[in-house]
Chains A and B, each alone.
Chain A
């Protein structure tokens, strides 16, 4: 395996295992997430890629009967350390979900919610600035600046997803996790999100789960292929798509199974 040097990687996973009750969903996954790059997790349905993603910000804690083993670090610090505050962790590692899930509040409040609960703005002006900057970074500002007080749920699907991205980046996370962010969107909205991901790479470390291999090829620099709860292969995206080492990877990306 072509492990990159630990100093470059933002997050490390070592021998990560996940059990849902008595069923094991992940087997000894070793994966590094390099800083300021897009890492794509691909694989057939049920292969454990979403499960791994949710380990990275401990979203699995919310699920009853889910047990995570092994070690995951963020900047060298174990995120499953009992002394670590999970709320602060999630403020550093944002998440965008498969289905757009804006709060049933105004567009402004959707973006302002994170900065508010984390005490990031002391005045209304500061908060306005954060909201504007986040919406601009998410490429949504021009479309919504006239109607910030209207419900976020009234936007189109693609706009809602970009609103969710704006909401995630409003708290200035170091890492953004995206769980199939385009699966509920049409091709035009998908293209916009992909463009956005490419821009966000400059400032954020991104991990994206996707079912679309074209998407992985387009947006990511690193790709990891999961199969049946195991990490089969990972490396530079170009290498994975042009000369995969494992024949299962080869089979999946050429469409022979999956």
Chain B
């Protein structure tokens, strides 16, 4: 009782001075500032990346075309009088293009100059003429004006990537070629057009004929295989481990190992695919099927960990409610827990798949780095994928492949964004309050 009677001086009161309040406000302001700085820096870096990629890559979406008056000589196209599709398709249209170039520049006579002249157009330019003739054989015998694809060097000259003021020996186009180019330009025989080939062709040694479609299809097939394998396997494993498996030493060891696998470098999975899938089981080389399997192995741990976290986050009251009215464990999981965990599972799956989409190292090991011209039509056709295609183009010496590389990155980013958009859509659809 004597303590109660003591005056209040012995009791410590909270320090309510302005100094402390100001200090607290200042600390909060500083913290907010640091946060804003961090976000700002991240946005700035992302912007630099995007701007640099887009500014380098946008020029790959258009190309330079040259107008040529091509004489569709029946002696070349239908040498033995037959005009069936096979004969028409097999004719030497590139030769006709060369003739047209000779006619356009009659004063070029020496062999060396002629070769330079022919190099103004792409060596795939004949295809334009072939398609026109196949579509309309009645054109044979007449002279028609065709817009054919310029060679990549001319394209680079048109886009300003080859500097005219450099000494002739230091650039890939000669002074005479520049003169021809200017003459064509003056007479209105040059134009820029949308580069449809970039979206409709596979890879090529010639930059003006190279397209992203082969790699894009390869990526789509690979991702399909990965999703079909990794998502059901990962989700089922996670549900079993989280909801049904007894909690003992064995499941603990499994859990530790899954967490370890998530950190294994991807190249190791590629080597595994090479040794087991190609070596032991003899699956085809360079195939999206094998690539998808390797990437599925790589993605599995991520999906399992994310799914288990999502299942754990479902409130226990929902489980109790379902058990309380006599739902079996399987019914509790499939009717209540899984629908509530779906948004979390989708987020985890998409993080794993996005990583797999951008992965190139393990695919190098199983031969998906090969130079493949044909667009794949199925998961067993030889193919490459977007990141490997980007790597291949970045490694090519031609100036024109620089813009292709950046354009490839843009296509990869667009693929990623559409994948994420699907994930967000699914998440919204399943998101519920509880």
Chain A complexes with chain B: yes
Partner-B contacts on A (CB < 8 A) = 57, 59, 62, 64, 87-92, 94-97, 99, 101-104, 113-114, 117-118, 151, 153, 164, 167-168, 170-171
Are B326's CB and A171's CB within 8 A? Answer: yes
Residue in contact with A90 in the complex, picked from B315, B323, B432, CB distance below 8 Å: B323
Interface segment out of the listed B38-46, B63-71, B103-111, B328-336: B328-336
Report which of A95, A117, A151, A170 forms a contact with B324, defined as CB distance below 8 A. Answer: A95
* Chain B residues touching A, range: 20 to 34
The answer to whether A104 touches B326 (Cβ under 8 A) is no
List residues of B (235-282) whose CB comes within 8 Å of A's CBs. Answer: 247
Complex interface bits, B403-416 against A, C-beta within 8 A gives 1, otherwise 0: 00000000000000
A113 proximity list for chain B (CB < 8 A) = 322, 325, 327, 335
Question: A149 CB to closest chain B CB, in angstroms?
Answer: 14
Task: Determine if B317 and A97 form an interchain contact, defined as CB atoms under 8 angstroms apart.
Answer: yes
User: In the complex, how many angstroms separate the beta carbon of A163 from the nearest chain B beta carbon?
Assistant: 11
> Which 3 A-B residue pairings sit nearest by Cβ, starting from the closest?
A91-B326, A95-B324, A101-B317
Among B405-434, those with CB < 8 Å from A are 432-434
Q: Assess the A94–B340 pair: CB atoms within 8 A.
A: no
Tell me whether B113 is interfacial, beta carbon within 8 Å. no
Shortest distance in angstroms between B218's beta carbon and chain A's nearest beta carbon? 41
In angstroms, Cα B327 to Cα A91, docked, is 8
Nearest chain A CB to B334 CB, angstrom units: 11
Contact residues of B: prevailing secondary structure: helix
A243 CB to nearest B CB, Å: 36
Closest to A170 in B: B325
In the complex, the answer to whether B324 meets A57 with C-beta atoms within 8 Å is yes
Contact A117 B323 (CB under 8 A): no
A153 touches B434 (CB 8 A): yes
Chain A residue numbers with a CB within 8 Å of B322 are: 103, 113
**Do the beta carbons of A117 and B331 come within 8 Å of each other?**
yes
Given contacts A151-B432, A153-B433, 7 further A-B contacts (CB under 8 A): A62-B320, A89-B326, A90-B323, A95-B324, A113-B322, A113-B327, A168-B324
Q: In the complex, are the beta carbons of B326 and A90 less than 8 A apart?
A: yes
B432 adjacent to A101 (CB under 8 Å): no
Structural contact, B319 and A62, CB atoms closer than 8 A? yes
What residues on B are CB-neighbors of A99 within 8 Å? Answer: 317
Given known A104-B433, A113-B335, contact A171–B325 (CB-CB < 8 A): yes
Chain B min CB distance to A175 (Å): 12
Q: Tell me the minimal C-beta distance from B113 to chain A in angstroms.
A: 79
Q: Is B318 within 8 A of A101, CB to CB?
A: yes
Q: List 28 A-B contacts (CB under 8 A).
A: A59-B323, A64-B247, A87-B328, A89-B326, A90-B324, A90-B325, A94-B325, A97-B317, A97-B320, A97-B321, A99-B317, A101-B317, A101-B318, A101-B320, A103-B318, A103-B321, A104-B318, A104-B432, A104-B433, A113-B335, A114-B325, A114-B326, A117-B325, A117-B331, A151-B433, A153-B433, A164-B321, A168-B324
Give every chain B residue within 8 A of A97 (Cβ-Cβ).
317, 320-321, 324
Q: Nearest chain B CB to A81's CB is how many angstroms away? A: 17
In the bound assembly, the distance between CA atoms of A168 and B321 in angstroms comes to 9
Residues of A within 8 A of B318 (CB): 101, 103-104
Q: A96 vs B319: C-alpha distance in the bound complex, in angstroms?
A: 13
Considering residues A104, A153, A170, which has the most beta carbons from chain B within 10 angstroms of its beta carbon? A104
Quote the shortest CB–CB distance from A31 to chain B (angstroms): 21
| Minimum CB–CB distance for A152 against chain B, Å | 10
A170 to B320: give the CA distance in the assembly, Å.
17
Residue of B247, B323, B328, B336 with most chain A CB atoms under a 10 A cut-off: B323
Chain B residues with Cβ below 8 Å from A95 are 320, 324-325
A103 to B318: give the CA distance in the assembly, Å: 6
